[in-house]
Amino acid sequence: MVIDPARVLPREVLDARFPEALGGMVAGSTTRWDDVPSSDLDLFVLLAGRPAPMRSTERVGGRLVEFFVHTEESFAGFVDRERQLRRSPLLHMCATGLIIRDDDGRLARLQDSARARWAAGPAPLTAGELEDRRYPLTALLDDLAEEAHPVDRAAPAAAVFTDTGDLALAARGRWTGTGRWLTRRLREADPDLADDLAAGLPAAVEGDATTLLSCGRAELDRLGGPLDSGYERHA
């Protein structure tokens, strides 16, 4: 693949790497206009068959390019599996991406469907799923409250931050995420909670877990309270 290092253009990369593609779209920071020269270029590629489904990371003209390659059938299967986790990076990519090639209109139809599914949100938590989230968060809050060692305190603090944010999003019927996407989703759904968690995490690591504990306990109280004795599951 010969690409001018001075200008890594998504359509040029798509056509060179997958000339047989039915369509393609660019996603991620490039579509938000906040990418920098070191940003990865995310390309969703629609094929009629093999080598899809596949994911590949390649360096093109000095820039990392991530290819997310699917058929319509494999896209649907991957999204169905991701939606069960209440987070679907692939669905979000297709819903928010910018189409750069669409030979017969099917990528536009796929995007319309993705946008509708993304807007609808994930399925509500069942009563059992809610208990399965309340129980470990209850234990983490107890561990954090009791831990005095600064190094050992960092792990439960980080876990309380993540589990509280994830539970808050799931309970509000919102998509969740991992890494920075967890905090981005949380800022959209509950900016005050996002700010409190962001302030509480470093404070807890430094020795004052008051704010972080309050965030977790308040979220549990919204959803039925802490859960320890009485929790039961059978294999």
Q: How confident is the model at residue 112 (pLDDT cuts 50, 70, 90)?
A: very high
Q: Cα separations (Å) of 105 from 73, 100, 102, 111, 112? A: 16, 12, 6, 10, 11
Structural domain that includes position 156: 127-222
**What does the pLDDT read at residue 1?**
41
Quote the CA–CA distance of 137 and 162 in Å, as a whole number.
10
Amino acid type, 163: D
Percent of the chain having pLDDT more than 90?
Answer: 77
**201, burial (CB in 10 Å: exposed 0-12, middle 13-18, buried 19+):** buried
Percent of the chain having pLDDT more than 70?
Answer: 92
Q: What is the mean pLDDT of residues 15-28?
A: 92
Within this chain, do residues 161 and 73 fall inside the same structural domain, yes or no? Answer: no
**What does the pLDDT read at residue 28?**
77
Assess contact for 121 and 178: CB atoms under 8 A: no
The residue from 94, 120, 146 where one domain ends is 120
The β-bridge partners of 60 are 63
Does a structural domain hold residue 234?
Answer: no
**What does the pLDDT read at residue 6?**
40
Within this chain, do residues 210 and 163 fall inside the same structural domain, yes or no? Answer: yes
Quote the CA–CA distance of 18 and 233 in Å, as a whole number.
48
CA 227 to chain centre: 27
Within this chain, do residues 59 and 145 fall inside the same structural domain, yes or no? Answer: no
The residue from 120, 151, 186 where one domain ends is 120
pLDDT at 4 over 90: no
Amino acid type, 164: T
pLDDT at 33 over 80: no
Within this chain, do residues 116 and 131 fall inside the same structural domain, yes or no? Answer: no
Q: Provide the number of structural domains found in the chain.
A: 2
Within this chain, do residues 143 and 106 fall inside the same structural domain, yes or no? Answer: no
Does a structural domain hold residue 196?
Answer: yes
Q: How confident is the model at residue 31 (pLDDT cuts 50, 70, 90)?
A: low
**Residue with tokens 């470990």, as numbered in its chain:** 136
The residue from 55, 88, 120 where one domain ends is 120
Quote the CA–CA distance of 44 and 179 in Å, as a whole number.
21
pLDDT at 201 over 50: yes
Q: What is the mean pLDDT of residues 1-16?
A: 65
Q: What is the mean pLDDT of residues 24-51?
A: 78
Does a structural domain hold residue 81?
Answer: yes
pLDDT at 133 over 70: yes
- Closest C-alpha among 89, 42, 97, 100 to residue 66: 42
Q: What is the mean pLDDT of the chain?
A: 90
CATH of the domain at 113: 3.30.460.10
Tally the C-alpha atoms within 13 A of residue 84's C-alpha that lie toward its C-beta: 5
Residue spans of beta strands (DSSP E) within the chain: 23-27, 41-46, 54-60, 63-70, 98-102
**What does the pLDDT read at residue 148?**
87
Within this chain, do residues 77 and 178 fall inside the same structural domain, yes or no? Answer: no
Q: What is the mean pLDDT of residues 175-187?
A: 93
pLDDT tens per residue, range 134-166: 999 999 999 999 998 888 899 999 999 999 999
